[in-house]
């Protein structure tokens, strides 16, 4: 019987986190379960820092609120955690301490709201003996086995609105406008926003781009009398003969997700200006994609995921990730989510064994883009 549970919101923040918290808390209360929240993600688990969550108290008024009321920590891997020793940083396995903390606090289940890195750690904690249930959060929509992650719809909506705004200024000045969007190693945001915002090209990590193909598209538009072009580019995109643009390497390359992407939009705008002779400008959309209120779609999705997660805990179904399958609430084993990336404490993103969900060439969105003659850079 589950009597006491805790929530962790880990990784980058994301619209809908608070809506999931609210749904878990309300469902817990309906079933007489006490609910707590760890402060600042997995860091709170290590520091034994948690608060009580109640729908009439700390967890009230959450449905529409962006961010997370319990805070999040990014790149926190307790299995390979930086600890200062004699003035030097050593990477240590702090997971045993974290497990001991959760056990002594009496938590029967921990809900891990996060993306692939968070769910990798959740699976690793399940191997160490904790009962965990994951909820797929990320604007990137790249968690394996989840049809859709909460936060993604909001990010796409923000990007589509930005594209609408870029259209009128691009048209007035006869410019090429590149819009760099987030998404890490997956092009979902770029592709869907390009379709929603009527862009002329969508450049995604899954298709290393040939700049001449983009130039051809821009020139074709010029011949048709359209003197501006709008290009959406995913932060993880790269030219077919080049590499991703890395803005910063974090934690000496030793953390969980140790590179910060950014800069491909500027590069593409610069290269297109040189090749077409047109004026090009870049806009990097950045954190507005993640901040603020969730769309109605994300509020409902988050609420569905939160209630399902608590239902699973009550049934005693642990070490799974809540998902949608063919539009219906479902769950999948965390072992399947991490795929071949079994080594405890291993990094999640950007590695050979990573199991993130990337855009595949047979995806409907790719087919739609090709039918609309949106240039995919190939």
- Catalytic positions are 140
Specify the 3-state DSSP secondary structure of 345.
coil
Among 8, 10, 12, 199, binds ligand F6P (CB under 6 A): 12
Q: Is 300 exposed, middle or buried (0-12, 13-18, 19+ CB in 10 A)?
A: middle
CA distance 192 to 157: 9
CA distance 344 to 360: 28
Nearer to ligand F6P, 37 or 183 (CB): 183
Strand intervals (E) in 214-279: 229-234, 246-249, 259-261
Least distance in Å: CB of 151 to ligand F6P? Answer: 8
Nearer to ligand F6P, 248 or 340 (CB): 248
Specify the 3-state DSSP secondary structure of 169.
helix
Asked if 140 touches ligand F6P (CB under 6 A), the answer is yes
Nearer to ligand F6P, 34 or 116 (CB): 116
Asked if 348 touches ligand F6P (CB under 6 A), the answer is no
Least distance in Å: CB of 235 to ligand F6P? Answer: 6
Among 44, 115, 239, 265, binds ligand F6P (CB under 6 A): 115
Window 243-282: contact mask with ligand F6P (x via CB under 6 A)? -----------------xx---------------------
Give the H or E element holding residue 162.
helix 152-173
Among 23, 94, 98, 139, binds ligand F6P (CB under 6 A): 139
Least distance in Å: CB of 90 to ligand F6P? Answer: 23
Asked if 183 touches ligand F6P (CB under 6 A), the answer is yes
Least distance in Å: CB of 103 to ligand F6P? Answer: 30
Asked if 290 touches ligand F6P (CB under 6 A), the answer is yes
- Nearest residue to ligand F6P on Cβ basis: 182
- Tokens coding 168: 């009128």
Least distance in Å: CB of 114 to ligand F6P? Answer: 9
Asked if 119 touches ligand F6P (CB under 6 A), the answer is no
Specify the 3-state DSSP secondary structure of 134.
strand
CA distance 230 to 165: 11
Token pair 């590179």: residue: 259
Q: How many residues bind ligand F6P (CB under 6 A)?
A: 13
Residues 6+ apart with CB under 8 A from 347: 77, 117, 255, 256, 257, 258, 354
Q: At what angle do helices 17-30 and 296-315 cross, to 10 degrees?
A: 40
Give contact residues for ligand F6P (rule: CB under 6 A): 12, 74, 115, 138-140, 182-184, 235, 260-261, 290
């Amino acid at each position: 019987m589950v009597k006491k549970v805790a929530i962790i919101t880990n990784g980058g923040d994301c619209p809908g986190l608070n809506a999931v918290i609210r749904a878990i808390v309300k469902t817990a209360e309906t079933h007489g379960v006490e609910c707590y929240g760890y402060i600042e993600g997995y860091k709170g688990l290590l520091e034994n820092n948690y608060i009580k969550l109640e729908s009439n108290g700390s967890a009230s008024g959450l449905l529409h609120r962006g961010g997370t009321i319990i805070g999040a920590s990014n790149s926190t891997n307790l299995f390979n955690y930086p600890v200062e020793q004699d003035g030097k940083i050593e990477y240590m396995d702090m997971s045993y301490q974290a497990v001991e903390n959760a056990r002594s606090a009496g938590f029967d289940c921990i809900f891990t709201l996060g993306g692939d890195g968070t769910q990798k750690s959740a699976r690793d904690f399940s191997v160490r003996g904790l009962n965990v249930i994951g909820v797929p959060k990320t604007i990137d929509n790249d968690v394996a086995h989840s049809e859709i992650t909460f936060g993604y719809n909001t990010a796409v909506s923000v990007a589509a609105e930005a594209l609408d705004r870029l259209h009128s200024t691009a048209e007035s000045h006869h410019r090429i406008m590149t819009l760099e969007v987030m998404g890490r190693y997956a092009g979902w945001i770029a592709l869907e926003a390009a379709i929603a915002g009527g862009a002329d090209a969508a450049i995604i990590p899954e298709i290393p781009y040939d700049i001449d193909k983009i130039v051809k598209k821009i020139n074709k538009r010029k011949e048709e009398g359209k003197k501006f072009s709008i290009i959406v580019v995913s932060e993880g995109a790269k030219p077919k003969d080049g590499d991703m643009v890395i803005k910063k390497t974090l934690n000496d390359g030793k953390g969980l997700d140790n590179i910060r992407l950014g800069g491909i939009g500027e590069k593409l705008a610069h290269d297109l200006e040189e090749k077409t002779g047109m004026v090009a400008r870049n806009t990097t959309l950045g954190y507005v994609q993640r901040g603020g209120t969730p769309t109605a779609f994300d509020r409902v999705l988050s609420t569905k995921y939160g209630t399902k997660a608590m239902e699973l805990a009550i049934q005693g179904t642990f070490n799974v990730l809540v998902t949608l399958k063919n539009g219906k609430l479902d769950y999948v084993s965390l072992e399947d989510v991490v795929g071949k990336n079994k080594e405890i404490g291993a990094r999640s993103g950007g590695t050979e064994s990573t199991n993130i969900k990337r855009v595949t060439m047979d995806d409907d969105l790719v087919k739609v883009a090709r039918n609309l003659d949106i240039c995919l850079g190939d």
